[in-house]
């Protein structure tokens, strides 16, 4: 998974997620440095490198952990995590 560009500023978060096989959807969660979930969204899936975008309003500037997981047929893939720098 790649947050491109990094740093980013809102309200739109953009990631590229590499999907092994095919995913019906991709669930993205953002966590603060204290590991509190601060935002979450589900985007359309695909296969290979998939661009994922989601609306994350009111996110303060800081460093966040982004976790993405592909979902297919009710089964979840292994989650991938990256660090994201968010600017106002």
pTM of the model: 0.89
Q: Which residues pair with 37 in a beta bridge?
A: 31
Structure confidence at residue 2 (pLDDT): 87
Q: Pick 2-87's CATH classification: 3.10.20.30, 2.60.40.2550, 3.40.640.10, 2.30.38.10.
A: 2.60.40.2550
Residue environment code for 27-58, b if the CB has 16+ CB neighbours within 10 A, otherwise e: bbbbbeeeeeebbeeebebbeeebebebebee
The two beta strands, 62-72 and 12-31, are antiparallel
Condensed to tens digits (0 to 9), the pLDDT of residues 32-82 reads: 999 999 999 999 999 999 999 999 988 899 999 999 999 998 788 878 889
Sorted by where each begins, the domain ranges of the chain are: 2-87
């Amino acid at each position: 998974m790649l947050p491109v560009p990094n740093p980013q500023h809102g309200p739109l978060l953009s990631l590229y997620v590499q999907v092994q096989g095919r995913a019906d959807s991709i669930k993205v969660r953002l966590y603060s440095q204290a590991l509190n979930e601060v935002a979450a969204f589900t985007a359309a899936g695909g296969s290979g490198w998939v661009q994922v975008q989601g609306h994350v309003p009111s996110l303060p500037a800081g460093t966040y952990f982004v976790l993405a997981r592909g979902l297919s047929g009710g089964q979840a893939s292994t989650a991938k995590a990256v660090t994201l720098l968010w600017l106002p």
